[in-house]
């Protein structure tokens, strides 16, 4: 794989916001963002709703996610149960709300962990270069040649089922891909003169990496993080289909869709429709927001990776 | 003569099911049980035609080196046993009357000796290196010797009591046992562990694993095998029953996805229901199937797959019988049936209710019945009495088997136990790990899972003997062990039946396992298929022998 | 110049392959659950596990097993399946083409759909067509693949009494039927990649179109536009080619799901089953083949990229 050096130019917009620092200025910028990138704004709103659902699930959901409501089996969506009930007499709306918590936990934890690892690998690789860089890149290359599902299935077969294990294996995957991009971004930052200057002034390596490089590749990280979040949710649902997803009792949207959703497809289509819509909507939102952020924060990034989300 | 009698009457009526399973519940939508078993009519059977069903790719084809149903189902078309189970429209599903296959007759001169007279003129398939020669007593001896001596035979315990096999003459075989074994004939009739194999095939191919080595005396011959795609069988023109089989070609198509299977069935790409074990359909799909493929024939009968939860009775608190009874009483079995099987199912005594001739009628279980009845208050009281009033926590290990029903059942059970103060942490294990540990009793607290759907009583009772690998509850009950071992020696059928009932009552009263109800299978068949009746077990071939297409 | 670049890339690829082979080998050994015990199938406990283990060579030290495996792999012997004792290489020979056909069909549709829509979207930037195209692309990315596959198999059965054949048709039996059975799953598998390619084409084309000389030519009218378009496309498609490398690895991942749903006996399903059954030689063999393919394809892609864009050939 060839490396495409990606130049990161801090654009004017975040500079302005940093300089002024007042709430009013921030709000104005927010509105400007919404006007320029309406899709991105819609995406942001959806994600906000997702986060609210995840954090305040206990207040929003009328029932617990494993509560078996007597006499309410396989009810279609209606007044009493907004999205209907499933075959174990559980309220689907409540399960969707709690499912948001699972989706948020798994995706955010994975992407956070993965990107921390990726940043460590990518920044050091791009900064130190030389033999260390070559060796690391070969390992990343090898790792990336594996179809992602193979790695995850093998890792999960080793570690066993469980939400934590799903997060760990997915984050290793995220780390490999993201480290590439971060390395490219680092390469271009390193070329800047003020890095040379800092070194001449006696700044140590860690200080330079943390204080000078990291902030400047942050924009890149933000963009790939946002798009990556959507991909993780899709991957988790694919894993559920294969039997390796987040196990019960946590109601993940993926397992709702691939499990009883598919079994009761004819008798109770609503059991599958709602988790499917939830997944699609949230992934859609992450992608839109990510695109918009990329356009605004780092226009040069558009050529790099195309933001593919694995199926 | 130890021959079994079958059940009474051909139809599975509601009353029969009720007697077998106690409270068989019908959800409003299901209606009365559908009777679809047809008798052999006056029409003359027409030979020819092709039958497509959902098939299975086995790991290999050697019956002495695997116990997998995928192998046995395939071999049921190509091989014969000494004895088999009667098949046909007048056989009630869940009953297994033993009749001769290769054996023309058999006598039982004393407790430890069986003499079988083989049919004459039985030809092996015309495939090299056996090339269609006649089957003799030597082949039987060879098979049994290989079965008992080969390393890695998961079924070898079936012939644990066999001392030796002797060729008396060309068509007569004598079996000598170490001790009386009332279940010996059951094992001989098992599909297809003791099917008769040819020496030349083993010698030429080293073992019987390859498709080329599948040479038997059965009604069909293996025509082709594409791993994970399809297996095809073609009619054996020299089958020892003249005129049979009628169907010319059989195709077993292998495919994973349940949604795709259903779509294939709805669009007529398969001739019988695509679900395991015997051409079934899933109850949730019944409505749509009735709409899209209206002219099908349905037969309902209970499943002999029983899920149970085992526990470490050798460790506190499970050693206390009150705790075990409480755990059982905490479960609302009807609710689980509602959630996982549309409410249609049968309650299980220690031998699954589906085995009509062997399972004790549910209402005769005595005290055991109390412990199976949903009563959370009484459960809590028992726990308190046992000194566990404050509740306790434990773990439950299981594997999903890819079954949403099992996943749901586990979740519901955990909820019910939570309601009486028992905190159960669920540990899901991948199948391989589960099978190597929890399934063999190496769990810490509880384990839960479906049990092997055997057709004979020994399989269900033997697991209560100490040091048996499947003794998941670590039962060490000398009284029970004695009763079980003695059953082997009872030659009188009626007395043995009483003993088996007594054993079940004892087990139920001791609540060694929490038993869950079984669903009711729905077999779905093309109406033009005459003279075919579904049943439990892997003997697909045996049930197909006399079937024919009326079109 | 070009040859040196090619050799350089080749030299770089080899260590990757070696590392990958070590990963492949060790990953599988870490999986718990004794394969021999599992082989002694569901219901009973069998004797003589040690003898079985010795026969399968599982009791030798691990590095011996590794070098033995690598040595044999280099001459095309990937060992035998622990379960069926059939040679892995032989099984792969029948299955690899199926997955490759599925993958190729998917990439074909991805390009067929992605590039034209990307062009339209770029040329008509920020118009309704652009939004619809981009919205549609993201939607294609957002729906779980197995769900699309399920709907594609089930809905026609319900509404049109038609379903894709669950029987796999070989090339030799029915050439047209053989090709046709890949169309639907290929299309569905390709949708995700189509979306990525569409977005990439769009942004690349926009980059090029924004440049001054292009804008001038564009404003001059229809005839000029065609020339400009042709010229810009050539430049903007270069990154698309490189993205293909990533897409192939991803597509090969996606095959297991579609192979399950559409009943295609490909490598994805084979690998998935092997992981469940702990069949080490099969898992290793498939991983090796896949990794080699991906590395090889990337090499080719890099080469094509270098051919198209001389700046890269340093």
Cα–chain-centroid distance for residue B236? Answer: 27
Q: Looking at the complex, report in whole angstroms how far the Cα of residue A285 sits from the nearest Cα belonging to chain B.
A: 29
Q: Looking at the complex, report in whole angstroms how far the Cα of residue A130 sits from the nearest Cα belonging to chain C.
A: 14
The model's pLDDT over A244-278, given as tens digits with 9 standing for 90+, comes to 888 877 888 988 998 888 888 888 889 999 999 99
Q: 């946002």: which residue's tokens?
A: A226
Mean pLDDT per block of 10 residues along chain B (551 residues) reads: 32 38 32 40 82 89 87 95 93 91 91 93 93 94 93 82 93 93 91 93 90 94 90 95 93 87 89 86 88 90 93 91 94 91 91 91 90 93 90 91 87 93 89 78 91 88 86 92 91 90 94 94 91 92 92 81
Domain ranges of chain A: 28-298
Q: 């090969």: which residue's tokens?
A: C252
The model's pLDDT over A129-142, given as tens digits with 9 standing for 90+, comes to 888 888 888 888 77
The residues, any chain, with a CB within 8 Å of residue B99's CB and separated by 6 or more, are B83, B84, B85, B86
Integer Cα distance of C8 and A169 in angstroms: 33
- B280 burial (CB, 10 Å; 0-12 / 13-18 / 19+) is buried
Closest by CA position to C83, among listed C277, C283, C276: C277
The residues, any chain, with a CB within 8 Å of residue C82's CB and separated by 6 or more, are C35, C39, C56, C278, C279, C280, C281, C282
Integer Cα distance of B456 and B157 in angstroms: 14
Do C41 and B256 count as a contact with CB atoms less than 8 A apart? no
Closest by CA position to B193, among listed B147, B160, B250: B147
Q: Which of residues 79-98 of A touch C (CB under 8 A)?
A: none
**What pLDDT score was predicted for residue C55?**
59
Q: Which residues of B touch A243 (CB under 8 A)?
A: 400, 402
Structure tokens at B547: 């079937």
Contact by Cβ (8 Å): C206, C232: no
The model's pLDDT over A17-69, given as tens digits with 9 standing for 90+, comes to 455 567 788 788 778 777 777 878 888 999 999 999 999 989 999 998 888 88
The model's pLDDT over C13-67, given as tens digits with 9 standing for 90+, comes to 777 777 777 777 776 666 555 555 555 443 333 345 665 566 556 667 777 878 8
Give the chain B residue whose CA is nearest to the CA of C82: B59
**What pLDDT score was predicted for residue B157?**
82
Contact by Cβ (8 Å): A189, A8: yes
Residue among C34, C83, C167 minimizing CB distance to B230:
C167
Integer Cα distance of A10 and A212 in angstroms: 13
Q: C267 in contact with A at a CB cutoff of 8 Å?
A: no
Buried b or exposed e, range B85-118, using 16+ CB within 10 angstroms: bbbbbebbbbbbbbebbbbeebebeeebebbbbb
Contact by Cβ (8 Å): A81, A93: yes
Do A247 and B428 count as a contact with CB atoms less than 8 A apart? yes
Residue among C46, C157, C260 minimizing CB distance to B154:
C46
Residue among B258, B402, B407 minimizing CB distance to A248:
B407
Q: Which residues pair with B525 in a beta bridge?
A: B272, B297
Do C23 and A144 count as a contact with CB atoms less than 8 A apart? no
Structure tokens at B515: 């038993």
Give all strands of the β-sheet with B220-226 in edge-to-edge order.
B50-54, B249-253, B230-235, B220-226
Integer Cα distance of A105 and A109 in angstroms: 6
Whole-angstrom CA distances from B144 to B119, B162, B200, C40 are 18, 9, 15, 20
CB atoms closer than 10 angstroms to residue B528? 13
Which of C44, C88, C161, C178 to mutate to probe the B interface, most B CBs <10 Å?
A: C44
CATH annotation of A28-298: 1.10.3720.10
Integer Cα distance of B318 and B312 in angstroms: 6
Give the chain C residue whose CA is nearest to the CA of A230: C142
Q: Which residues of C touch A3 (CB under 8 A)?
A: none
Do C44 and B261 count as a contact with CB atoms less than 8 A apart? no
The DSSP-derived string for A185-211 is HHHHHHTSHHHHHHHHTT--HHHHIII
Integer Cα distance of B91 and C57 in angstroms: 49
Give the chain B residue whose CA is nearest to the CA of A72: B339
Structure tokens at B304: 């002999």
Integer Cα distance of A93 and A90 in angstroms: 9
Q: Which residues of B touch C278 (CB under 8 A)?
A: 432
Assess whether pLDDT exceeds 70 at residue A2: no
The DSSP-derived string for A128-162 is H-HHHHHHHHHHHHHHHHS-HHHHHHHHHHHH-SS
Integer Cα distance of B53 and B254 in angstroms: 9
Chain A neighbours (≥3 Cβ pairs under 8 A) are: B, C
What is the Cα gyration radius of chain A? 22
Closest by CA position to A190, among listed A164, A209, A163, A167: A209
Integer Cα distance of B24 and B348 in angstroms: 11
The model's pLDDT over C153-208, given as tens digits with 9 standing for 90+, comes to 888 888 888 888 777 888 777 888 888 889 999 999 888 888 878 877 877 777 77
Number of B to C CB contacts under 8 A, please give it: 133
Q: Looking at the complex, report in whole angstroms how far the Cα of residue C157 sits from the nearest Cα belonging to chain B.
A: 5
Integer Cα distance of A148 and A173 in angstroms: 7
Residue among B66, B209, B270 minimizing CB distance to C41:
B66
Closest by CA position to B377, among listed B323, B326, B319, B340: B326
Do B469 and C150 count as a contact with CB atoms less than 8 A apart? no
pTM for the model stands at: 0.82
Q: Which residues of C touch B153 (CB under 8 A)?
A: 46
Which of C38, C137, C147, C207 to mutate to probe the A interface, most A CBs <10 Å?
A: C147
Structure tokens at C239: 């990154």
Q: Looking at the complex, report in whole angstroms how far the Cα of residue A71 sits from the nearest Cα belonging to chain C.
A: 30
Helices and strands, number each (H, E), in chain B:
17, 21
Structure tokens at B132: 């269609």
Residue among B59, B67, B269 minimizing CB distance to C166:
B269
């Amino acid at each position: 794989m060839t490396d495409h050096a990606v130049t990161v130019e801090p654009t004017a917009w975040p500079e302005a916001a940093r300089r002024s620092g007042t709430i009013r200025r921030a709000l104005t910028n927010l509105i400007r963002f919404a006007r320029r990138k309406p899709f991105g704004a819609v995406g942001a709103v959806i994600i906000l709703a997702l986060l609210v659902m995840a954090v305040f699930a206990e207040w929003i959901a009328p029932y617990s996610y494993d509560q078996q409501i007597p006499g309410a089996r396989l009810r279609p969506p209606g007044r009493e149960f907004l999205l209907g009930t499933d075959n174990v007499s559980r309220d689907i709306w409540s399960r969707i709300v709690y499912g948001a918590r699972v989706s948020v936990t798994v995706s955010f934890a994975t992407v956070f962990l993965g990107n921390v690892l990726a940043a460590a690998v990518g920044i050091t690789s791009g900064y130190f270069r030389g033999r260390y860089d070559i060796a690391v890149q070969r390992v990343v290359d090898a790792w990336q040649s594996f179809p992602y599902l193979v790695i995850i299935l093998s890792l999960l077969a080793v570690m066993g089922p469980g939400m934590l294990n799903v997060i760990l294996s997915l984050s290793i995957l995220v780390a490999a891909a993201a480290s590439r991009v971060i390395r490219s971004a680092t390469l271009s930052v390193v070329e800047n003169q003020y890095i040379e200057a800092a070194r001449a002034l006696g700044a140590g390596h860690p200080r330079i990496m943390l204080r000078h490089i990291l902030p400047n590749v942050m924009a890149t990280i933000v963009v790939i993080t946002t798009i990556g979040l959507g991909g993780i949710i899709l991957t988790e649902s694919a894993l559920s289909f294969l039997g390796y997803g987040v196990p019960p009792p946590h109601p993940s949207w993926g397992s709702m869709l691939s499990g009883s959703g598919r079994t009761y497809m004819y008798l109770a289509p609503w059991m599958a429709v709602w988790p499917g819509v939830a997944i699609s909507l949230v992934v859609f939102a992450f992608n839109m927001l990510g695109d918009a952020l990329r356009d605004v924060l780092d226009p040069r990034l558009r050529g790099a990776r195309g933001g593919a989300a694995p199926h | 003569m130890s021959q079994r009698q079958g059940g009474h009457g051909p139809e599975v009526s509601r009353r029969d099911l009720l007697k077998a399973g106690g409270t068989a519940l019908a959800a409003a939508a299901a209606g009365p049980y559908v009777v679809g078993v047809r008798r052999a009519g006056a029409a003359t059977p027409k030979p020819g035609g092709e039958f497509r069903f959902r098939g299975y790719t086995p790991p290999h084809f050697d019956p002495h080196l695997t116990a997998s149903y995928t192998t046995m189902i395939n071999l049921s078309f190509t091989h014969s046993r000494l004895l088999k189970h009667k098949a046909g429209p007048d056989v009630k599903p869940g009953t297994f009357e033993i009749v001769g296959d290769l054996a023309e007759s058999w006598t039982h001169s004393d407790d430890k000796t069986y003499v079988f007279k083989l049919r004459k003129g039985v030809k092996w398939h015309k495939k090299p290196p056996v090339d269609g020669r006649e089957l003799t007593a030597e082949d039987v001896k060879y098979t049994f010797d290989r079965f008992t001596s080969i390393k890695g035979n998961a079924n070898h315990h079936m012939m644990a009591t066999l001392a030796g096999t002797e060729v008396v003459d060309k068509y007569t075989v004598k079996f000598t046992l170490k001790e009386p074994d009332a279940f010996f004939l059951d094992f001989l009739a098992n599909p297809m562990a003791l099917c008769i194999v040819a020496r030349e095939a083993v010698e030429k191919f080293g073992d019987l694993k390859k498709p080329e080595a599948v040479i038997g005396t059965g009604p069909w011959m293996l025509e082709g095998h594409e791993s994970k795609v399809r297996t095809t069988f073609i009619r054996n023109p020299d089958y020892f029953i003249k005129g049979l089989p009628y169907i010319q070609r059989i195709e077993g198509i292998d495919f994973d996805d349940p949604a795709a299977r259903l779509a294939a069935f709805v669009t007529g790409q398969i001739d019988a229901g695509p679900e395991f074990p015997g051409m079934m359909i899933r109850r949730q799909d019944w409505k749509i199937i009735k709409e899209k493929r209206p002219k099908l024939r349905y037969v309902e009968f209970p499943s002999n797959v029983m899920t149970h939860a085992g526990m470490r009775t050798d460790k506190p608190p499970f050693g206390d019988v009150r705790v075990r009874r409480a755990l059982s009483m905490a479960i609302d079995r009807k609710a689980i049936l509602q959630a996982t099987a549309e409410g249609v199912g049968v309650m299980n005594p220690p031998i699954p209710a589906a085995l009509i001739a062997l399972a004790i009628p549910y209402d005769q279980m005595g005290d055991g019945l109390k412990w199976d009845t949903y009563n959370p208050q009484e459960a809590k009281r028992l726990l308190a009495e046992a000194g566990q009033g404050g509740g306790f926590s434990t773990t439950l290990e299981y594997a999903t088997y890819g079954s949403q029903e099992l996943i749901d059942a586990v979740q519901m059970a955990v909820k019910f136990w939570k309601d009486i103060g028992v905190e159960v942490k669920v540990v899901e294990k991948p199948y391989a790990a589960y099978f190597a540990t929890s399934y063999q009793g190496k769990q810490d607290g509880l384990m839960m899972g479906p049990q092997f759907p055997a057709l004979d009583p020994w399989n269900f009772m033997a697991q209560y003997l100490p040091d048996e690998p499947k003794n998941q509850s670590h039962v060490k009950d000398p009284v029970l062990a004695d009763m079980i071992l003695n059953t082997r020696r009872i030659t009188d059928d009626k007395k043995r039946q009483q003993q088996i009932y007594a054993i079940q009552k004892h087990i139920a009263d001791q609540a060694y396992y929490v038993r869950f109800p079984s669903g009711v299978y729905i077999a779905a068949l093309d109406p033009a298929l005459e003279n075919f009746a579904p049943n439990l077990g892997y003997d697909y071939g045996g049930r197909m022998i006399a079937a024919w297409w009326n079109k | 110049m070009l040859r040196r670049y090619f050799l350089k890339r080749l030299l770089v690829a080899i260590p990757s392959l070696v590392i990958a082979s070590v990963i492949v080998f060790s990953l599988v050994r870490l999986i718990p659950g004794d394969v021999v015990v599992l082989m002694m199938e569901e219901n009973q406990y069998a004797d003589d596990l040690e003898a079985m283990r010795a026969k399968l060579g599982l009791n030798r030290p691990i590095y011996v097993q590794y070098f033995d495996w690598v040595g044999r792999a280099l001459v095309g012997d990937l060992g035998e399946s622990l379960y069926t004792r059939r040679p892995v290489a032989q099984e792969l020979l029948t299955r690899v083409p199926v997955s490759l056909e599925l993958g190729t069909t998917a990439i074909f549709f991805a390009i067929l759909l992605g590039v034209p829509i990307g062009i339209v979207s770029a040329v008509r930037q920020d118009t309704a067509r652009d939004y619809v195209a981009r919205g549609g692309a993201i939607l294609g990315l957002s729906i779980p693949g197995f769900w699309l596959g399920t709907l594609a198999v089930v809905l026609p059965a319900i509404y049109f009494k038609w379903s894709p054949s669950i029987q796999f048709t070989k090339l030799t039996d029915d050439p047209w039927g053989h090709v046709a059975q890949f169309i639907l799953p290929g299309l569905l598998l390709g949708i995700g990649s189509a979306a990525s390619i569409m977005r990439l084409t769009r942004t690349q084309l926009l980059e090029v179109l924004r440049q001054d000389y292009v804008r001038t030519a564009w404003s001059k009218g229809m005839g000029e536009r065609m020339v400009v378009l042709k010229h810009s496309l050539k430049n903007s498609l270069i990154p698309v080619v490189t993205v293909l490398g990533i897409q192939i690895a991803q597509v090969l991942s996606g095959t297991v799901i579609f192979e399950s749903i559409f009943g295609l006996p490909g490598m994805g399903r084979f690998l998935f089953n092997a992981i469940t059954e702990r069949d080490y030689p099969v898992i290793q063999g498939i991983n090796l083949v896949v990794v080699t393919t991906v590395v090889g394809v990337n090499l080719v892609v890099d080469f094509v990229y270098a051919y198209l864009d001389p700046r890269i050939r340093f």
